Every structure is written in C-alpha cells, then in structure tokens.
C-alpha cells in the first residue's frame, strides 16, 4: 500500500500512533548505527570472482533504494541462461555484532502506507549493501540454465563482485520491453519469454503465485479513496525469476541435507468454500469444475474486482512458516501454493532468513562446510521469522483497517450491496461481509442468522478511523448501488 496525492501526509500521524500502539521498532540504537557505518566501509575478500562485466539491471518500484536483486538474461540455444545477483549482506553483518543482534529482534522490514521500518540501518540497506547502479558491490551470483520449456537444468552459485548498469522502475522496464524491435540492456527483451515459460510450468504443476496488487490511498482534504493500481506484466515476470531462484535454492538444500524451507500447508475445505463465496460477492465467475490454480491464473490484477479477489486469496497463505533441517527433509516441508519445495533467498536486505539460506547455498555449491554461525541459528530461525511475520501481519492489517475506516467515514448511514462470506458458528447473527466497491471486507451483524453467500443490502453503521473499525448492519433489504469506483 502507498499514499498518493498532495494531502497524503494526513495519514502520517495516525500511522505513527499505530506504530507506538503495536510496539514496533523505531530508530536504530546509536551503537547499531555506529556499527553499520563501520561495516559500510568494509571490503569483500579479494578472492571473489570479478563479474562486473556482466550487464546486470535492477527492476523495482520507483524510488526504491534497497535493491536486493539484479538480473541478466541471455539465449542459450532454445533455452536461456539467467544470471541473478543477490546482495551479499553477510559481508557487512557478522554473527554477534550489534547489527546482527538488532536484526535478530526485527526479523524483517515492515511496510506501512507512508514509509518502511527497515531490517537494517539505511546506510547498509539503501547504500553500501544495495545493488545501486554504477557501484561495484559484493553479491551472491546465481547462474540458472533453463531449457526450451523453462525447466531448470543446472544451478551454480558463487560469491562475486558485480556492477548493476541501470535501475528501472516497473513502468520503465515495461516500456522498454514493449518497444518492438529494440535490443534492451540486461536481456530485458527476453524477460517476457522467460517469465511466461515459468508461469506455464507453475500452472502445469498446480502452483499459484499470487500477483498481489498495490493498493493506492488517495487523500484529498477530508475525502479519502482506496483503489488498486494496475499491475504490469513485467512485475509478474520479475517475480517468476525470484521464485525460480527460491526453487533452485530448495533443491540445493535438499540434495545437501541441510537448509531452511518456506512451507505452506494445503488449504482446508472451508477456506475454499469461503473463497468461492468471496468470488460470488465480487461478481467473478468460478465454475464448479475449475480448480483454484486455474481460477487465480485467469485473474487480471488490473481489474479492481480481480485485484480484490487476489487479495482475498492471500488467506490461502495462512499457516505458512519455515522448516529447518540438518539431515533428512521433514514431512510436510512443501509449499502448497507453489506445489514444490521453496526457500527464501532473494531479499536479504529485507528478510533475516535469506542471509542464512544464501550462506547454505554458497557452501553447498562450493563443496564446503556450512558455516558454524549458520548451524547455530538454524533451529531458532523458524521461530524468529514466525514472530516477525505475526508482527508484520498485525501492522499491515491495522493500516488497512485504518484506511478503510477513513475512506468510509463520510458514508455512515448509506446502504451498500454485500455478500456474507463467513458466519460466526457460535453467534450466527454475526460474520464477515465483502462489498465490491470499494473492495473491502468488514464485520456485519443482524437480528437473525446471517444469510451465507447471498447478495444482500446492508447499511454502514460505523466507520471509525481512530478505532480502525468498520461495521455494517444486515437488514435483509434489496441490493443498492455501491460507491462510484475511484482510480489513482
């Protein structure tokens, strides 16, 4: 979520109060900042391979400075060779130092609507360790060889020095790719081809990677609006390279008998029934014979109702976690959403676990022992990441509730059309409601058991930004016209 519009600063005080209420990390302690500045001057070992001649480029949201990944794609017969450079944070953060101790507490970067709460001091995450264009940087460089169908044939990982040549926003990268007949730096002209092959392989194995849309909050005086930004094709293709690297990392770990995997259990039947009710509420056709993966792959994130359906599908990620192993791989270590084993390795500037997973992959590929500092933390990492994930979820959910309440506040007393997607089993007169425009989910109550899964008229009875609460009352009335759609 991001804020747009000249009045966007109006959201700042409310989010700052929210951070205080949730006890989120604030500024880094002075000793951590001092240690980070000293680390920023650190130079990698001289025995690294020099790959600065590789024409790498980065693709990120406009204005980003914490650049974890850079890519280069080249043809290899009827297949492709993908070079994927990942920021080597371990050069700057040593086990037990003040920065390491602080990151163990934080776990990951937290994102609100106005700014982030970083995992690392910005002198590292947005400068010395970031793959900024024109700068020589230490990286963990992946070489991923793909055949004509996008099947991964070979993986090689090494420590290297790299230099990203250009930084593209998603919009700039899409424009370069769409420019017919042009040869683009970093193999951008091949990203669409590789990305579509990888998406086809994902669909064939029954996997689903959610193309999560960006929500844009527009603040104009007392009027707030919430809309979904149209997701570009390049964002999905770029995400597929990250997923490919995570799948390759998981294979290395499983073959090497040590690692930490990102896991997700298969969804429960009731989760699927709820999701089907949500599709009905949003007016999305989902025939009974069509499975969940096929439905998701058919969604267009550029359409507001489809974007809301993608966001609702994130409920299928409940129960995600990490499984560490040093020996045989435990049962249930797959990622059900991707229908394969998977590991987090591509965002070490923003996620603690990636630094450890990268160390394991580098060691295994080189035939060397996994460092002792990695083995020492391996057993506690799943718990550390679980706690940080819960905190991130609470923060993001509270920000969303705040914004939804602010958007709806001027409309208290008005009637909307909604569908009850879940009913409280102990108090069936209460439940959760989805309305299509604005695409939100909120609590609803009535005087009788709520009608599950049918379109109903409801009245907005409360929208309180201070309490971050939205409530509707079911009156069993006819459907009414919702708010006019708003777009950023």
Domains and CATH numbers, the chain: 2-265+319-405 (no CATH), 411-477 (2.40.50.140)
DSSP string across 94-127 = -TTSHHHHHHHHH-B-EE-SS-EE-SS-HHIIII
Classify 204 as helix, strand or coil. helix
d(CA 375, CA 326): 8
Q: CB–CB of 478/457 below 8 Å?
A: yes
118 exposure class (CB count in 10 Å sphere: 0-12, 13-18, 19+): buried
Neighbours of 265 (CB within 10 A): 15
Instruction: Find residue 48's DSSP bridge partners.
Output: none
d(CA 445, CA 431): 7
Q: CB–CB of 138/93 below 8 Å?
A: no
Q: Which regions of the chain are under pLDDT 50?
A: 6, 477-488
pTM for this predicted structure: 0.89
Neighbours of 321 (CB within 10 A): 14
What are the strands, taking DSSP E only, across 40-99? Answer: 49-50, 56-60, 69-76, 79-87
d(CA 328, CA 336): 19
**Nearest CA among 343, 159, 364, 338 for reference residue 248:** 343
Q: Are strands 110-111 and 69-76 parallel, antiparallel or unpaired?
A: unpaired
Instruction: Find residue 261's DSSP bridge partners.
Output: 323
Distances in Å between the alpha carbon of 163 and those of 137, 176, 239, 327?
6, 21, 21, 37
d(CA 437, CA 485): 6
Q: CB–CB of 341/333 below 8 Å?
A: yes
- Token digits of residue 205: 């194995």
d(CA 117, CA 109): 6
Per-residue confidence (pLDDT) for residue 9, from 0 to 100? 59
Per-residue confidence (pLDDT) for residue 403, from 0 to 100? 85
Per-residue confidence (pLDDT) for residue 13, from 0 to 100? 81
* Residue in this structure with the two tokens 């090494």, named with its chain if needed: 158
443 exposure class (CB count in 10 Å sphere: 0-12, 13-18, 19+): middle
């Amino acid at each position: 979520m991001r804020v747009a519009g000249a009045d966007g600063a109006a959201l700042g005080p409310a989010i700052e109060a929210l951070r205080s209420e949730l006890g989120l990390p604030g500024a880094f302690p002075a000793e951590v900042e001092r240690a980070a500045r000293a680390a920023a001057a650190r130079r990698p070992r001289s025995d690294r391979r020099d790959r600065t001649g590789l024409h790498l480029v980065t693709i990120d949201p406009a204005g980003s400075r914490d650049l974890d990944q850079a890519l280069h794609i080249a043809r290899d017969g009827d297949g492709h060779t993908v070079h994927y450079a990942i920021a080597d944070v371990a050069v700057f953060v040593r086990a037990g130092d003040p920065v390491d101790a602080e990151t163990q507490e934080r776990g990951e970067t937290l994102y609100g609507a106005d700014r982030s709460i970083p995992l690392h001091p910005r002198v590292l995450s947005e400068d010395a360790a970031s793959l900024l264009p024109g700068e020589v940087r230490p990286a963990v460089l992946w070489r991923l060889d793909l055949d004509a169908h996008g099947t991964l044939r070979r993986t090689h990982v090494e420590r290297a020095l790299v230099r990203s040549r250009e930084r593209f926003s998603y919009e700039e990268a899409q424009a370069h790719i769409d420019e017919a007949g042009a040869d683009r730096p970093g193999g951008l002209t091949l990203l669409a081809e590789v990305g579509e092959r990888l998406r086809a392989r994902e669909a064939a194995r029954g996997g689903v990677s959610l193309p999560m849309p960006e929500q844009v909050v527009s603040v104009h005086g007392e009027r707030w609006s919430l809309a979904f930004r149209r997701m570009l094709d390049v964002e999905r293709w770029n995400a597929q390279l990250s997923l490919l690297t995570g799948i390759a990392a998981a294979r290395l770990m499983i073959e090497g008998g040590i690692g930490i995997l990102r896991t997700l259990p298969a969804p429960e039947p009731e989760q699927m029934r709820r999701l089907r009710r949500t599709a009905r509420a949003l007016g999305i056709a989902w025939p009974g014979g069509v499975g969940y993966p096929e439905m998701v792959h058919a969604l267009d994130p550029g359409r507001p109702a489809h974007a809301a359906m993608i966001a609702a599908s994130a409920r299928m990620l409940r129960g995600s976690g990490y499984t560490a192993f040093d020996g045989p791989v435990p049962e249930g270590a797959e990622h059900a959403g991707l229908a394969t084993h998977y590991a987090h390795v591509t965002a070490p500037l923003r996620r603690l676990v990636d630094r450890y997973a990268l160390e394991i992959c580098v060691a295994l590929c080189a035939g060397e022992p996994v460092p002792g500092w990695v083995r020492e933390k391996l057993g506690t990492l799943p718990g550390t990441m679980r706690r940080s994930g819960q905190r991130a979820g609470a923060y993001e959910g509270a920000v969303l509730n705040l914004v939804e309440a602010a958007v709806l506040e001027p409309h208290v007393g008005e009637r909307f059309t909604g569908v009850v997607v879940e009913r409280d089993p102990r108090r069936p007169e209460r439940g959760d409601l989805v309305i299509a425009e604005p695409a939100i989910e909120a609590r609803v109550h009535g005087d009788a058991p709520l009608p599950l899964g049918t379109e109903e008229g409801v009245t907005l009875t409360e929208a309180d930004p201070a309490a971050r609460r939205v409530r509707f009352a079911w009156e069993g009335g006819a459907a009414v016209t919702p708010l006019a759609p708003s777009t950023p």
